[in-house]
A and B are shown apart, each in its own frame.
Chain A
Amino acid sequence: MGNIGSYEEKYKNFDWKISEQELEYGKDGMYNLAYYCCDRICEKGNGEKLALLWQGFKGEKKEFTYHDLSVYSNVFAKYLQNLGLKPGDRICLFMERIPELFISFLGVLKMGGIVQPLFSAFGEDALFTRLEDAGTKAIFTTRKHVRKIRRIRDKLPDLAKIIVVDAGDKPLEKNEVAFSMEDAPKPENFEVYKANPEAPSVLHYTSGTTGKPKGAQHVHASIIAQYITTKWALDVNPDDIYWCTADPGWVTGTSYGIIGPWSIGTTQVILDSGFSSARWYQFIEKHKVTVWYTAPTAIRLLMKDGTEVVRKFDLSCLRHLISVGEPLNAEAVIWSKEAFGKPFYDSYWQTETGAIVITNYPGMEVKPGSMGKAFPGIKAIVVDQKTFEPITTPGTVGLIALRPGWPSMFRTYWNNKEMYDSKFKKGWYICGDRSSIDDNGYFWFVGRDDDVINTGGHLVGPFEIESALLEHEAIAESAAVGKPDPVNMEVVKAFIALKPGFKPNADLELSIINFIRKKLSPLAMPQEIEFVKSLPKTRSGKIMRRLLRAKEWGEEIGDTSTLEDD
């Protein structure tokens, strides 16, 4: 039995006030979530407890207590104030997984800024789109990534400060300032910005089928859901050693890689390294990780390397394993039992929900392949794809729909209220994923309801890829779709028609693939290109991605009555 105790009883009698009371949320008018992730833990007498153990790929280590978190986040907050930044300003974090990334997140919030974390593997086009949309005022980065910003800064008039955290004595350029967390003055006290619980806190960009990526805007009160889901769904306690493998450039890396674990007061460990099975197991063994939150893609890569590698390490420290990002296949759950002696528990949520909404719980029967049941306080159903009326017949596929009002729900898309409003139908928030619910209330994922590609647990928008492809000198038109992949669930496949004078060949294919990788990101990079003479279109000229996708998945093509004649 885990922290949640009886799921049925908790679901029946739940009130978000349970979480608010445990957190003492709102005490003395304090609603700023950063306070609850460090200062409050210190006030409870746990300042000397280890909050973060960071390990680099060469094995180097850095440790931070909760007192360190409190002081260093003050350092960031004070520094931003001194630079003239104000509450409500969007401040981007664009760094690899170094301690400064995690701690500056709290620092930005402490001074009232809106923190905009972006995945450091983004190329300059992906970065530009998101900084321009948010009107970002300042960005924290490292020497490794500052060159990408230099190439776009002249097109970003709002971007006043580029703060390089490891500049040392290296020369900097226009609007760039060097800042060292460790060398800066360390204020023990800082007057944390008295944010309203509904004040914007975090801006995470996510992709849709059409248009540019959208900034899902969250508020400080999100911590009410992130705290209790970390405790009940991830089963994290203060005395755990917790490892969340997600990058804070994505929502899992902030909701459950910063806010959740630190509001509980647990010790979290971070490995800033690329993937390697042996390295991961060694890390778990060395630091005695007890709770491990990772992604199906990583689990399938571990499966690929087999159980022999697992047996070389003592992983008996592991107590609870959870997965997120895409549906966890039944084979992975079964393999996990064989490899680690316990199953991975699947969880479902998305950038917009801010916290887990459907999951499997400790003490509850795991049905391999199922996402589990709705979290207490979350009313989740499936609705008809056309009428949006609730589906009551078990096993019938519909769209996952949530009754709005949970604390971590996004409050808008930045600069795009119209798109936000379009996500709500007949009083339900429509997640955009298809699922069925069985007789016992378990959700079974079926797929996306749109053309968004879920690759390695990250959503990639076809429009952004197609727009970037058109910038390549050889490409006349293109379509990007998801194709099945045994490790990443889906990978990007691009169908490309070339301009006259260009001929398909392997050199051109590699050039296009690298072009997108550098402009957007490795996730958006097509892993396969099919050269075609032309693309299927409607009579109004719209590319019919669905036909191309159906072909990749071996599905029925469906209605083609609007297809343009050859």
Chain B
Amino acid sequence: MSEEIKKLIIEYVKKEYLEEEDEQDVDENTPLISSGIVDSFSMVSLKMFLEKKFDIKIPDEKATTEAFDSVNNIMAILKEFNVS
């Protein structure tokens, strides 16, 4: 299940934050915020996607740039909501 969730998030990041044919590859460890793939403003749309997809509400204090900096980091947040 958790592999499927990771895949879902990776696909979303590729589709929404990278250009078509972008040479950048994304895996579960790829830095998202610090690499600039997702900027701190766009993090809001990623958070909204997660909340909508998994029917959760991530509190602002948990939505830090570090917590969103990779798919693995995001998985740690989701785990707190028993999504894994």
Contact = CB atoms under 8 A, between A and B. Distances in A.
**How many of chain A's residues touch chain B, expressed as a range?**
20 to 34
Contacts of B23: 143
Name B's interface SS: loop
B28 to A, nearest CB: 18
Interface stretch (A376-384, A398-406, A506-514): A506-514
Interface in A118-170: 121, 143-144, 147-148
Given A121-B39, A278-B66, A507-B52, 6 more contacts: A96-B36, A143-B23, A274-B36, A514-B45, A522-B42, A527-B44
B19 to A, nearest CB: 5
Contacts of A543: none
Contacts of A121: 39
Interface in A352-383: none
B16 A514 contact: yes
A213 to B, nearest CB: 18
A533 interface: no
Contacts of B16: 514
Contacts of A212: none
A57 interface: yes
A143 B21 CA distance: 11
Interface string B42-75: 1011001100100000000100111001000000
30 contacts: A57-B34, A96-B36, A147-B21, A273-B35, A274-B31, A274-B38, A274-B65, A275-B40, A275-B65, A276-B33, A276-B34, A276-B65, A276-B69, A277-B66, A278-B66, A279-B34, A301-B65, A305-B64, A455-B41, A488-B41, A510-B49, A513-B44, A514-B16, A514-B45, A517-B42, A522-B39, A522-B41, A523-B41, A525-B44, A525-B45
Contacts of B3: none
A513 B47 CA distance: 12
Interface of B: 16, 19-23, 31, 33-36, 38-42, 44-45, 48-49, 52, 61, 64-66, 69
A208 interface: no
A304 B64 contact: yes
Given A278-B66, A304-B64, A510-B52, A57 B35 contact: yes
A507 B31 CA distance: 26
A510 B22 CA distance: 23
A272 B44 CA distance: 21
B53 to A, nearest CB: 9
A507 B20 CA distance: 22
Contacts of A144: 19, 22
Nearest to A121: B39
Given A57-B35, A274-B39, A510 B45 contact: yes
Contacts, number: 73
A548 to B, nearest CB: 20
A566 B44 CA distance: 35
Nearest to B44: A527
A192 B31 CA distance: 42
B45 A513 contact: yes
Nearest to B39: A522
A506 B52 contact: yes
Contacts of A147: 19-21
Most chain A beta-carbon neighbours within 10 Å: one of B38, B48, B61? B48
A510 B31 CA distance: 23
A17 to B, nearest CB: 43
A510 B52 CA distance: 9
Contacts of B21: 147
Contacts of A277: 65-66
A510 B34 contact: no
Contacts of A253: none
